[in-house]
Structure 1
């Protein structure tokens, strides 16, 4: 079974369509299932694959992530594509009190992946594909990472930071999964024409004239993730970073073992507090 987060639009839709076309069971993990239902029906019609399911998942909510994982009833997951992401123009928080960009792009993805690991690699090789970004080169994961506030929030800072954190998570998880039948890699899709660009106004019309020739369609942006999800070319590679269907070098920070371990430990502590508070409130 394949799981694709943010599967109803942009690259997620392109990945889902390509994967469903191979005939495998697919779970579309989407925040707004009402809006995603039409996309699911469209993909089923186009591919003839009736095994495309739609499940609700809000990466901004610990309770939603837990409910999603429990709803799979322990079914084996062969491929997890962590595609969903967000960049907020203004400071806002998740229901659990985290800054939204960091909460969705990194913490929610971290938690979902770790909660799904028991469902992976039991009877065959499994793969995890994380979505980073070329902007990770501008990222910095320091003491400020989990402590953003309205006064110091900058969307052009929070987003690259979250994408560097995803890359650090990828390399650390790869180390922890050594000896198991699970690989994890990250992709840089490039600058993709998705709703994230127009909705949050990344750049003004003048800049748009300059950048437009370099912007990829969602279908082109999804090609590297589709390759890693469906091809055996890199089946034994783990902890890698891919761009334009080729493996590329990792930023120095993602190669810093101690820095990656520290981030993992900090995330574990943060998540333990979030999950613990939910359990105390009876929201599990």
Structure 2
């Protein structure tokens, strides 16, 4: 993959303190971009910043606090950026298969963080993006979107209550919502004649800390055995975090993309391999479902995305 020069470009990466976000931030910095590393925990963000600086020598790294489970935090983040043009927004942060919890606004935390938070962030930063000559939004989904079962795209499907909550199916739905959001945003941009393109990316099965979150929430033997299995799978089946970041980097920089594509590993079952355009589930490529999900999303976040 060609290393596109990103000198004088501003890239915003959510969840930049670890995993895919950290590795992608380093790749953007290596190409000369100014990178805003948006993290929920500023201390971890500063540690990640020093890691990227050591790898790249870049002095164009800035850590900013962003909690995607809080609309006020998202608003404050956007306000701090002011009217500065943004060339690339990478909606990467996420949580996976956690026990039932809610965001500050009372939404189930996985859908609230992974999807609604990024939708609101994109809406707030859209004016900044449209000030750039060729802006791009990359939303990170997962091959697990194929397990998503959204069909109506209404509030009842998007926001589960405690009595109907199952960690993994809700995670799958949040990743399907990410993909549908990316494709609907691109369709809106094209309809309005904007220079912006929106692309989705997924890392395949990458060796990151995210896979340890679900078993770490358990107690006793369930916790120990779950963590052991996760470690074994990460060490034997997963590709590196660096390889997992390549689809995101390609989605953000490849000049041959037209918008609306899904970029992922092209190897075995999209779990590993070189990045390229890959197929999604049938639901992930349903424009009517994407429109319904976007409409419901805008109702939930209280603003038009675009």
How does the TM-score come out when normalised to structure 1? 0.90
> 1:198 maps to which residue?
212
Deviation at 1:250, TM superposition (A): 3.0
Whole-Å separation in 1 of the counterparts to 2:175 and 2:78: 23
Paired residue secondary structure (1:145): helix
> Higher mean Cα deviation, 114-123 or 23-32?
114-123
- The CA deviation string for residues 245-275 of structure 1, in whole angstroms up to 9 with x for no partner, is 11122322233222211111111111118xx
> 2:160 maps to which residue?
148
**Structure 1 consecutive aligned stretches of length 4 or more whose deviation exceeds 4 Å:** 206-212
> Higher mean Cα deviation, 211-220 or 191-200?
211-220
> Higher mean Cα deviation, 21-30 or 191-200?
191-200
Whole-Å separation in 2 of the counterparts to 1:254 and 1:85: 19
- Is the 1:240–1:250 contact (alpha carbons within 8 Å) kept by the matching residues of 2? no
1:1-284 matches, within 5 Å, as 1-141=10-150, 142=152, 143=154, 144-178=156-190, 179-201=193-215, 204=226, 205=228, 209=232, 212-234=235-257, 237-244=258-265, 245-272=275-302
Structure 1 regions of 5+ residues with no counterpart?
274-284
Deviation at 1:78, TM superposition (A): 0.3
> 1:280 maps to which residue?
none
Report the CA distance shift for 1:55/1:209 in structure 2 as closer, same or farther (over 3 A): closer
> Higher mean Cα deviation, 128-137 or 113-122?
113-122
Deviation at 1:171, TM superposition (A): 1.2
- Is the 1:17–1:43 contact (alpha carbons within 8 Å) kept by the matching residues of 2? yes
Whole-Å separation in 2 of the counterparts to 1:122 and 1:83: 22
Whole-Å separation in 2 of the counterparts to 1:46 and 1:209: 28
Paired residue secondary structure (1:54): strand
- Is the 2:15–2:92 contact (alpha carbons within 8 Å) kept by the matching residues of 1? yes
What is the root-mean-square deviation of aligned Cα atoms in Å?
Answer: 1.9
Whole-Å separation in 1 of the counterparts to 2:198 and 2:163: 36
- The CA deviation string for residues 35-85 of structure 1, in whole angstroms up to 9 with x for no partner, is 211211232233222111110000000000000011001110000111101
Paired residue secondary structure (1:151): helix
Paired residues, what number? 271
- The CA deviation string for residues 81-132 of structure 1, in whole angstroms up to 9 with x for no partner, is 1110101431000111000000000000111111111111324101111111
- Is the 2:206–2:234 contact (alpha carbons within 8 Å) kept by the matching residues of 1? no
Paired residue secondary structure (2:239): coil
Structure 2 regions of 5+ residues with no counterpart?
1-9, 217-224, 266-274
